[in-house]
Each structure stands twice: as C-alpha cells, then as structure tokens.
Chain A
Amino acid sequence: MRIGLIAMSGIRAADPELMALGLTLPGVVERSRVVASMPSLSLLTLAALTPPEHELAYHEIDDLRSAGELPGGFDVVAISTFTAQVADAYRVADHYRAQGAIVVMGGLHVTRLPDEAAAHATTVIVGEGELTWADFIRDAAAGRAAARYAPPAGTYFDLASAPIPRYDLLDIHRYNRLTVQTSRGCPHRCDFCASSILLTPGYAVKPVENVIAEIRRIRELRPGAFIEFADDNSFATRGHYKRLLRALADEGVRWFTEADVSIADDPELLDLLRESGCRQVLIGLESPTPAGTGGIELRRNFKQLRQPDYAAAVRAIQGRGITVNGCFILGLDGDDESVFDAIHDFIDRTDLFEAQLTVLTPFPGTPLYDRLLAEGRILEPAPGTSARCST
C-alpha cells in the first residue's frame, strides 16, 4: 500500500479580531512558529511500526487555506491533529475519502470524540496508536479495515518497546526543533489538561538508552539539531531522569522540556539540567495567585500548594542559566480582573525569560469540560455532548 501520513498540528486563531487587535505581537508569533514547526512524532512513530513492504510519505499541512494541491495517489491516509485544527483535518479526510482512500484518524481529540471523527474518517483509532496500528495496517492491506480500533481496557503501551521514529521521512533541515518523547503521562491531574493523561492514566518513562539512541539518530540526520522533549512533565521520577541527564551530558545537545515547579527543590537535578545542555523548561504556573491556583489540580491541589514557591523556583532555575517559559491561564474560576496586573507584576519581578498567556479552554474529555457543561457554562458544546451527557 502507499500510505500518506498527514500532520496537522499548527496553531489556529479562532478569533480573527483578537489577532487584528494585537495578538500578532512578536512573543506570541515566536512560540506559535516553534510549535507549528515541529513534526508529528506520533505519525513518525507509527511509520516505524509499519511493515517495510508499504510505501510511506510524510506531508505537513500548516494552514489548509494556503496548502495548495494536496498530494494524491494514496491507498491509506493517516491524519494526526489536535482540537485547534480538527475542522480542517476533517475537510482533508473528506477530500481523501472522496478519492477512494482509506482514511484513518487518531490522537487526543479523536480519542475523546470518536463518533465525531467517524463522520469523516473510514477508521478511527482510539487511545495509544502503537497498540493497534499493526492490526489496522494488516486489515487495510486485506481490504477489511474496521471502523474503529481500540486497545483492550487497561492496556497501555510500554515505552521500552517504542521504535525509533522515522525521522528519515522528514525534510529534516526545515525544522528548527526535533522532538523526542522521554515520558508519557503526568503524576498530576489538572482539570483542564488535554494532554497524554487522556491516553494513559499512569506515568511511564522511556529507557535511557532508547532516548539516547533517538537523539543520536536525529543528529545523524541533522547534526546540531535542537531537541524538544515531547513530554507533559519530565522529571517526575527523579532517579531515572538523573541517569538520563548524566547520559545526555556526554551527547552535547541543546534541549527543551516541560516540567513542574518541583524541579526547583532539587539542586542536584538543576545542576544536571545545566550540565546536560537544557536551555529552557516550560512550566505551567497557571496563575500567580492563591485563589487562581486553587482546585486546579484534582489529586492534592498541587498548584495551590506550590504557588507560594513560584518566584523562588523561577529564580533557582534561571540562576542555573536555564530559562523558564512560564505559562499562565486567564479566566480561571478563582481569578478576577486583578489577575492581569498580578501576572505582569510576577513576570517583571522574577525576570521570567518567556511567558505564555492562554485563555482557559475546556477541551472535550477533560474534567473541566464536564464541570462547565454541568454548570451551563459551555457556550458551544461539542457535538455529542450536552448538559446531561458528559463525554
């Protein structure tokens, strides 16, 4: 079969007026470009799990409006996307289905709203794609692809089995950053989080030697590449990550990851971060106020518990020469209009190197979405959800 891997993971401005009013500022555009310029690690991983008799082609659509003519001639088209671009992804799915291709969709959004995706895709893969991709490919090649593939309940992918993603499918020199996943999941349960905790409830790490092998493969293809760990929360298992950081120190890489504020508690970890080439950590601070951080993290109120330490943590991390990209969520239930000045003040007094501002977004499948839906506070419920029926 000829398989097209179509990545659609750019950032979309849902409110053109907001863009016109000022969100074309350099800082916003800069981070948008970084996110949009990273390849789809999920598709490259599935490519590595595809038997060699099939032909693979990787194609990215940054913006469907300016994408021009889509590549054709595929027997199977696999589309990976996020909620922000899912409407465009469905148009692409419709396009390829009309051409007679088998269209398979997966990922976080599709996993939570498989019926919505089924209106456009021939096949929907629910959950971690590594677990069912081989079955899908076998069935598609035999002309009997099912409408839906999902792993048995309670089955999760072992990252020790993860293949090296097919970075060789990329026009690799066009990428500013290349991604490596070192862990999946998060020990916290923030109500808004629509990341890998929607796929796996636990926290799993990839063995150190596998991570190093992936980085070496990237650097074979693109020497000097900047590496972004595609993790939701690195360093949750300290012993493992200290081993990884010691191994990384010998590789001479520059890298970025996402973590939580607790890394600042561990001076040895911070030293290892510095020595291993870490340039920036992104931390979800969410709000600089006790009220704003209250109740966000559902297990032990982690964010509110740690909010008093935020400023000292930023200083401790940045004091090692590692910049912090601090993320704030606007519109949290505990915050009133005073939060805008509070955020500006926090950024100013901590010399926060980069800041990311996001409006609270209730993604389907999250506890936040279900709660706001029950309270009648969702303006446009996702298809298939209503105040009586949570996702």
Chain B
Amino acid sequence: MNFIPRRMTPAALRQGLIDLARRVYEPGFVQARRERFFETLQRNGVRRNRGLVADDASAA
C-alpha cells in the first residue's frame, strides 16, 4: 500500500482487506455461490458445458 486512504486509516484498510479476503475466498462460500450459479442455469434451461469454469483447461 503506497497511499493514505481518505475515509479510513491505513491500518483499517489493511485489516479490512485481510478479513474480507478470508470471507470471500472461504471455500464454503465459494462453493455455495458456484452451486447456486449452476442451479440457476439449470432452472433456466441453460446447458452446463464442460469447461464452463474458465481454468478447466483439460475440458473439451
């Protein structure tokens, strides 16, 4: 971090980043979002292609 934030302290920004990253990338939260995404597609009749996940390089 190379600047002084306007509406929070540098320490609050740093801690906020760490706490938010832990929450956003928590495996259960990631998995739940992805499951809901696929459920929505299924409900709307949108086909789930192999390789839909961008980095599934092995998918055909």
Contacts and interface: CB of A to CB of B under 8 A. Distances in A.
A112 interface: no
A377 B19 contact: no
B3 A27 contact: no
Interface in A275-326: 279-280, 318-321, 323, 325
A15 interface: yes
A73 interface: no
A375 B38 CA distance: 47
Interface in A346-370: 347-348, 351-353, 355, 357, 359-362
Contact of A323 (B18, B44, B53): B53
Nearest to A347: B24
Contacts of A336: 7-8
Contacts of A30: 55
Contacts of B30: 26-27
Contacts of A87: none
Interface of B: 1-8, 12-14, 16-27, 29-30, 33-34, 36-37, 40-41, 44, 46-49, 51-55, 57, 59-60
Nearest to A33: B55
Given A25-B22, A30-B55, A380-B2, A337 B40 contact: no
A231 B49 CA distance: 25
The 5 A-B pairs with the shortest beta carbon distances in the complex, nearest first, are A27-B25, A25-B25, A280-B54, A336-B7, A377-B4
Interface string A177-212: 100000000000000000000000000000000000
Of listed A325, A353, A360, A377, residue having the most chain B CB within 10 A:
A353
A321 B48 contact: yes
Interface of A: 15, 18, 21-23, 25-28, 30, 34, 176-177, 224, 226, 254, 256, 279-280, 318-321, 323, 325, 330-331, 333-337, 339-340, 343-344, 347-348, 351-353, 355, 357, 359-362, 372, 377-380
B25 A26 contact: yes
Nearest to A228: B54
A377 B24 contact: no
A27 B30 CA distance: 9
Contacts of B24: 27, 343-344, 347, 355, 357
A26 B3 contact: no
Nearest to B34: A353
A95 to B, nearest CB: 27
Contact of B37 (A21, A353, A377): A353
Contacts of A340: 16, 19-20
B57 A177 contact: yes
A351 B36 CA distance: 7
Contact of A279 (B1, B22, B40, B52): B52
Contacts of B60: 224
A224 B57 CA distance: 8
A109 B14 CA distance: 25
Contact of B7 (A18, A333, A378): A333
A280 B18 CA distance: 26
Contacts of A343: 20, 24
Contacts of A344: 20, 23-24
Contact of A357 (B7, B8, B20, B41): B20
B35 to A, nearest CB: 9
12 contacts: A22-B18, A25-B21, A27-B24, A28-B25, A30-B55, A177-B55, A224-B60, A279-B52, A323-B54, A359-B1, A377-B4, A378-B2
A360 B3 contact: yes
